[in-house]
């Protein structure tokens, strides 16, 4: 099929490359010319494992190209995926839909033959119905469907090529048929293909992310209780996770969730539920958000405990800036939030991350950055592991003990072995652990 993918960020660039990989003719479109130029040369403008190889493969085949024109997109494609961002609106919990609106408006104006517009962006429920009405005015031959995306950064290529499920919210059987055939390879491989109305499809995405955020905040709430009682949240999570009804995933207690999705999606859901008059139904999500943010404050306190109550005049090695490992994304990163907070309290903060330094520098120019783990550790009074990169998990407590000024460790992700670190002479603190 001839398809376009509009918006080539973390979601769209991966989607475009994967759709080309399964054999479609694909045009990726973005307003950011630098991003388009990089992608056209096969260089992803962000770190995502597997994406450079995929771009190289499709480059050789010649069925993926990039451009900046919505008119060209309208002329080229029969199916148009909308993959632009829906960030949190400034001064509000609500999602900012200006990019989605602009793309649909801009594209529909140029559509003069039957085509399918497919929303992938995460939007408040009801957005698709509003956009469908606008498309009916501007391009009566075009139809809208909603097909939420569940990919995780760091494993985005695999999540797209081998998804758990495909959900399509449609207005006609024809739209479902087009999408079933477009995703034919996955459907034939046994991926469940769920056809719903558009509102349900929009809600599936928001409900899934709300559940995941709730699961993380649940275990972090248990960590707070553990801290008050001397219990240990790590074996606690292991034990409850062995109940098949609960399951072990997303029960890693620590500094909590960040990124471009979970935090803003639960807030947008709270805002939308308010507009719909069902705010009570999701009022627990406020608590989920608050538990999550309290973990950041607690991490700052744990460091303070180790250095007698003041960060002033101390050197703090912050290991990690990305919101999670295998990503260079620093949007709403708990690690950077903690680093900035310690910096404001007078700490001499030095940040190291294997991939996210450029993005971190742009967002927090006030912090100091170094290009290696060794440089970060040298002379540190407190070392804090705030993103669970393998490089940090693999540190040898004895060797690292020789590099730092004081053996003080805050393990914000519960990835180090407390016994080994204490044995090597470290004062070890973690979230929810004695």
As annotated, the active-site residues are 261
Rounded CA-CA distance 124/337 in Å is 27
Give yes or no for residue 294 binding ligand UDX (CB under 6 A).
no
Give yes or no for residue 264 binding ligand UDX (CB under 6 A).
no
To ligand UDX, the closest distance from the beta carbon of 122 in angstroms equals: 8
Give yes or no for residue 250 binding ligand UDX (CB under 6 A).
yes
First-to-final CA distance of the chain: 57
Give yes or no for residue 85 binding ligand UDX (CB under 6 A).
no
Q: What DSSP designation does 318 have?
A: E
Give yes or no for residue 50 binding ligand UDX (CB under 6 A).
no
Q: What CA–CA distances, in Å, run from 142 to 84, 110, 181? A: 19, 11, 18
Give yes or no for residue 429 binding ligand UDX (CB under 6 A).
no
Give yes or no for residue 269 binding ligand UDX (CB under 6 A).
no
Tell me which stretch binds ligand UDX (CB under 6 A): 136-144, 208-216, 343-351, 368-376: 208-216
Question: Residue 310 burial (CB < 10 Å; 0-12/13-18/19+)?
Answer: exposed
Give yes or no for residue 28 binding ligand UDX (CB under 6 A).
no
Rounded CA-CA distance 46/27 in Å is 19
Give yes or no for residue 258 binding ligand UDX (CB under 6 A).
yes
Give yes or no for residue 263 binding ligand UDX (CB under 6 A).
no
Give yes or no for residue 360 binding ligand UDX (CB under 6 A).
no
Rounded CA-CA distance 180/252 in Å is 36
Q: DSSP strand E in 240-347: where?
A: 315-319
Tell me which stretch binds ligand UDX (CB under 6 A): 84-92, 255-263, 309-317, 338-346: 255-263
Give yes or no for residue 236 binding ligand UDX (CB under 6 A).
no
Tell me which stretch binds ligand UDX (CB under 6 A): 14-22, 244-252, 278-286, 402-410: 244-252
Joined together, the tokens standing for residue 321 give 């800036």
Q: What track of x and - describes contact with ligand UDX for positions 211 through 230 (by CB under 6 A)?
A: -x---x--------------
279-297 burial: b if 16+ Cβ within 10 Å, else e: eeebeebeebbebbeebbe
Tell me which stretch binds ligand UDX (CB under 6 A): 92-100, 162-170, 247-255, 283-291: 247-255
Q: What CA–CA distances, in Å, run from 1 to 116, 147, 183? A: 12, 17, 10
Q: What track of x and - describes contact with ligand UDX for positions 153 through 172 (by CB under 6 A)?
A: x-------------------
Give yes or no for residue 151 binding ligand UDX (CB under 6 A).
yes
Rounded CA-CA distance 374/317 in Å is 10
Question: Residue 349 burial (CB < 10 Å; 0-12/13-18/19+)?
Answer: buried
Could you say which residues in the range 310-339 bind ligand UDX, by CB under 6 A?
A: 323-324
Binding-site ranges for ligand UDX (CB under 6 A): 149-153, 209, 212, 216, 250-252, 254, 256-259, 261-262, 323-324
């Amino acid at each position: 099929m001839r398809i376009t993918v509009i918006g080539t960020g973390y979601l769209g660039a991966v989607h475009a490359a994967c759709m080309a990989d399964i054999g479609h003719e694909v045009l990726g479109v973005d307003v950011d010319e630098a991003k388009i130029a990089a992608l056209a040369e096969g260089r992803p403008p962000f770190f995502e494992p597997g994406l450079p190889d995929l771009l190289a493969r499709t480059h050789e085949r010649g069925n993926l190209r990039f451009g900046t024109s919505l008119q060209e997109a309208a002329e080229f494609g029969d199916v148009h995926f909308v993959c632009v961002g829906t960030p949190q609106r400034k001064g509000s919990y609500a999602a900012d839909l200006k990019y989605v609106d602009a793309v649909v408006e801009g594209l529909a104006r140029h559509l003069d033959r039957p085509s399918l517009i497919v929303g992938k962006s995460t939007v408040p429920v009801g957005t698709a119905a509003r956009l469908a009405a606008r498309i009916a005015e501007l391009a009566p031959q075009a139809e809208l469907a909603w097909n939420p995306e569940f990919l995780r950064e760091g494993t985005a290529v695999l999540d797209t090529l081998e998804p758990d499920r495909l959900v399509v919210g449609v207005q006609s059987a024809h739209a479902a048929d087009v999408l079933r055939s477009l995703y034919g390879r996955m459907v034939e491989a046994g991926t469940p293909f769920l056809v719903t109305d558009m509102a349900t499809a929009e809600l599936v995405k928001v409900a899934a992310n709300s559940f995941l955020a709730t699961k993380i905040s649940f275990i972090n709430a248990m960590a707070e209780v553990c801290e008050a009682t001397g219990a240990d949240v790590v074996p606690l999570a292991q034990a409850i996770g062995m109940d098949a009804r609960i399951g072990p995933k997303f029960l890693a207690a620590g500094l909590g969730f960040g990124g471009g999705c979970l935090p803003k999606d639960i807030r947008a859901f709270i805002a939308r539920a308010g507009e719909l008059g069902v705010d009570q139904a999701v009022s627990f999500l406020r608590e989920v958000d608050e538990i999550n943010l309290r973990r950041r404050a607690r991490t700052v306190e744990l460091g303070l405990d180790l250095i007698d109550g003041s960060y002033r005049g101390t050197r703090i090695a912050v290991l990690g800036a990305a919101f999670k490992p295998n990503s260079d994304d620093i949007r709403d990163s708990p690690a950077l939030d903690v680093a900035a907070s310690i910096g404001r309290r007078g700490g001499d903060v030095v940040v190291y991350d294997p991939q996210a330094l450029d993005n971190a520098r742009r967002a927090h120019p006030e912090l100091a950055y170094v290009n290696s783990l060794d440089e970060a550790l040298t002379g540190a009074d407190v070392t804090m592991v705030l993103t669970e990169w393998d490089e940090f998990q693999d540190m040898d407590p004895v060797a690292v003990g020789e590099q730092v000024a004081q053996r003080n460790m805050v393990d914000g992700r519960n990835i180090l072995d407390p016994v080994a670190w204490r044995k090597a002479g470290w004062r070890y603190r973690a979230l929810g652990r004695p």
